[in-house]
Every structure is written in structure tokens, then in C-alpha cells.
Structure 1
Amino acid sequence: MSTLAQRVLDALPQTQCTRCGYPDCAAYAQAVAQEQAPINRCPPGGAQGVDRLARLTGRPPLPLDAAHGLEAPRLMAFIDEDWCIGCTLCLKACPVDAIIGSNKAMHTVLEAHCTGCELCIPACPVDCIRLENASGLQTGWAAWSAAQAADARQRYARHVQRDPEPPAQSEQPAASTGSEPPDQPSPDAARQAIVQAALARARARRAN
């Protein structure tokens, strides 16, 4: 990573929300430094964040790009314990490991570490996660701090180190050995089966 990209990364709030259109803050910082992305795509940073990037890059300040979100109060995720089915999908979706729990057991959010990225919302199959205002009328960097950004950055680094992206599948078919194993269910199919079983248990529990 270039020196400019590193400085841009240091100026981002590290929520890892992907609203900029890049997979994480580091990728967006790299794109900004290489002039492949505008400086106004980070809603968590807000107008002050755009000004920071303008000063670093020498580009003129721009209004926040509404197509990538609006500057707003920082949000906090909460899990409805009565509806959580313990599917663990939100644990995998959280980029800073701010959700704890185990398979078939209730999950909870570590409020001190939640960045309000909202990535857990679409991951939950039973819509048991809600978002609440965590900063009142404060928005952008007024709703966040350098200490929180540093903590989120460290937690994201550990998350990536522990759960790296799976390697790309080779396009070349494997050579036949003459004794092929039986077809295995795909990871998506297995995950759906787990979720459906959990939903069935939850419905039965509520019916009783």
C-alpha cells in the first residue's frame, strides 16, 4: 500500500460497511489514492470525512454522494432474543466480530464494538436484528472517535486473519480417479438446511 493510500486509510472511520462500493476501508483507500474512486463515498465519515480526504489528496471537497448513503447518526445493532434462532449467519457477516453466540444458541451484540455497519441485517433470515440511534443528533465523525476507529480496525484485521475469503475455485475439472465420491451438498445448500431446521424449531417452540 502506498504512503498516500495508508494516510487515506488512517483518515477513514473503519466501519467496514462497504457502502463506498468496495469490500473494506483499505480497498476504498487504495482506490482513492490511485484516483480510481471519488473522495465522497463514505457516509460514516460524513462531510468532515470528505474534507479530510480532500486535504490529503489535494482534490476539491465534494458533497457526500447520496447514492452511497446519507450522513446520519451512528446506529447500533440489537438482537431480539425471543426471535434469534442461533443460525450464526450474523456472526459471519459482522466484519468486527461484535456479535457473539454459537450454533442453535442465542446471539448478542457487543455494543462497545458495533460499528453500525448494518451488514448483519440482510444476513439474518428471521429479521430479529434491529438498529437504534446510538449518537443522538451527532453524525459523521462527531458520532465516532479515533479510538473507536482504531479498535474497529484492529478487530477487522483479526477477523480477516481468522476467516479469510475462501480460495477461488479452479476452472479446470479435477482428474478422474476412477472411483468418484458421492456428490456432496454445496455450502449454500447446507447453510439453507441449517436455517430451515432452526426455523422449524422456532415455530414449534412458539406454537407450544
Structure 2
Amino acid sequence: MSSTPAPTLADRIENLLPQTQCTKCGYPACRPYAEAVADGTAGYNQCPPGGAEGVARIAAVLGKPVIPLNPVNGVERPRPLAVIDETLCIGCTLCIQACPVDAIVGAAKQMHTVINDLCTGCDLCVAPCPVDCIAMVDVTPGKTGWDAWSQPQADAARERHQFRVARLRREKEENDARLAAKAAAKLKAVEAESTLSPEEKAAADRKKAIIQAAMERARLKKEQMAAQAAGTTGIDDVSRSVKKQIEEISEKLEQQKDPQ
């Protein structure tokens, strides 16, 4: 029968943090801060969301005296909630990327909104917003630190953060795999082309030239339509220029057909 391993000191300290993932402690998330406190490289009074009670809880686990919250890391305050002014939001997605618990939803160039029950009030979405459409609103007036938070909320926030970290890691691995496959395919195509006979290479070059000529004709048509819509002049000049390019390509094709 396997037994559950006893929680480490870092585990115990992490369980005493409100899991806002706000980075105010100076670490990228609550877990790294807990590990730093456990190994003695960080003070146990650097978590503003936990407030004075949070310091006291960690001090009890460490067997150390209760000390004031370090003002360098911030001040104890009511729990805030991010609110997006949807009339100003431009859909840049920067706030979505910044949210450590996936509490903001929306799509590129579409309005974003905050899922109130998921927001930890970390403030991390405010700075990246280029139009200043995000405000932090206190939702627990008169209650600060752990009085403004609960253990179930902290546990849920930690779970969402862990899920987000795993998702981002998976997406990066999938993207890296796609890039590697694309590079491998390109290398394979280059290797295949290097083994072509002169006749096959000439045929491939002719095919490329034909495609390029077709693309030039399409571009010409698009420019003509745009110019006509705008009521501009000089279409004939553009036409002659592009036609000359097509004629040069056609001439090269004929030379490839008859090298003499």
C-alpha cells in the first residue's frame, strides 16, 4: 500500500498563501515564494494579499516571531476586482495574456470581460492595457488580508493557475513541434530539389516562373480595381510596368525551352 508523502515545508507555507499569484512578493507566483521562504532566501512577510494574518500564519509554521508586513512589497488592503470598461476595450488580448488564473475572456479585436468569481485581484492586467480601460474595484470594504479571502477561494485559484501553466507549456511544446516539422519539411524539399536532373530542375523552374507570372497578373488586376474605385489615374503606367515584367518572365521561359 502506497502512502501519501508528508507535505514539505514549502507545501505547508504555500497552503497559507491566498494564491492570488500577484507577484508582489517579488516572485513569479505563490509556489516559488513559498519555496524561497522555506529555504530561507525570502522573508515571510512579503505577501500583501495575506496581510498581517498571513504573516502570523507563516511565522507559526516557521517558529518565528510575528513581524510587520514589508512595505516594500505593498500594503494590506481590501480584495480588489478587475473591471473592464467595455466601451474602451480594443480587444488587444494583453490583459488575457497577463491574467495568471484565466479570469478574463475575449478574442482578438473583440470586447473582453472579467469573470468576477475567478478574479484574484492581482492587478497584473492593469499595466499592459494600452487604453487604460481596466480599473481595480474593492469588493470587500472593511475586510482585508485573509478576512477578505477564504481557503476554498485560494485552493480554486491555485488550481486554475496550475492548469494555466500546464496549458501554456503544452501549447509551447505543440508550437515547437509544428515549427520543427515545418523546418524538416523545408529541408526535405531542398534535399529533394538538389537531386533533380537538369531537365527536372528546368521544368520546376518553368513551373515557378509560370506561378510568379500568374501572381503578377493577379496583383495587377487588384491594383487596377483599387485605382478605379479611388478614381485615380496612372493605371496605364502601372499596367505597362507589370506587363513588362510578365514579358521578361515569358522571354526567360522561351529561352529555357530553346537554350540555343
Q: Do both proteins adopt the same fold according to a TM-score greater than 0.5, normalized to the shorter chain?
A: yes
The structure with the greater share of residues assigned to helix is 2
Give the match's secondary structure for 1:97.
coil
For 1:113, give the aligned amino acid.
Answer: L
Q: Distance in 2 between matches of 1:48 and 1:107?
A: 34
Which structure would you say has the larger Rg? 2
Q: Distance in 1 between matches of 2:66 and 2:121?
A: 25
Instruction: Measure how far apart 1:60 and its partner are.
Output: 1.4
User: Within the alignment, does 1:5 sit opposite 2:26 as a pair?
Assistant: no
Instruction: Measure how far apart 1:157 and its partner are.
Output: 0.5
Q: Distance in 1 between matches of 2:125 and 2:64?
A: 34
Instruction: Measure how far apart 1:166 and its partner are.
Output: 6.2
Q: Distance in 2 between matches of 1:35 and 1:61?
A: 16
Where in structure 2 are there 5+ consecutive unaligned residues? 1-5, 174-186, 191-260
- Aligned twin of 2:55: 50
For 1:54, give the aligned amino acid.
Answer: A
For 1:82, give the aligned amino acid.
Answer: T
User: Within the alignment, does 1:116 sit opposite 2:121 as a pair?
Assistant: yes
Give the match's secondary structure for 2:101.
coil
Alignment equivalent of 2:161, drawn from 156, 180, 188 = 156
- Aligned twin of 1:31: 36
- Aligned twin of 2:139: 134
- Aligned twin of 1:143: 148
Higher relative CO (Cα under 8 Å, sequence separation at least 6) belongs to 1
Q: Distance in 1 between matches of 2:113 and 2:97?
A: 13
- Aligned twin of 1:105: 110
Percent identity at matched positions? 54
Alignment equivalent of 1:83, drawn from 88, 103, 117 = 88
Q: Give runs of ≥4 in structure 1 deviating > 3 Å.
A: 164-167
Alignment equivalent of 1:72, drawn from 68, 71, 77 = 77
Alignment equivalent of 2:65, drawn from 48, 60, 67 = 60
Q: Distance in 2 between matches of 1:35 and 1:57?
A: 10
- Aligned twin of 1:198: none
Where in structure 1 are there 5+ consecutive unaligned residues? 168-176, 180-208
Q: Distance in 2 between matches of 1:12 and 1:161?
A: 21
The normalised TM-score by structure 1 is 0.78
Aligned length: 169
For 1:146, give the aligned amino acid.
Answer: Q
Give the match's secondary structure for 2:136.
strand
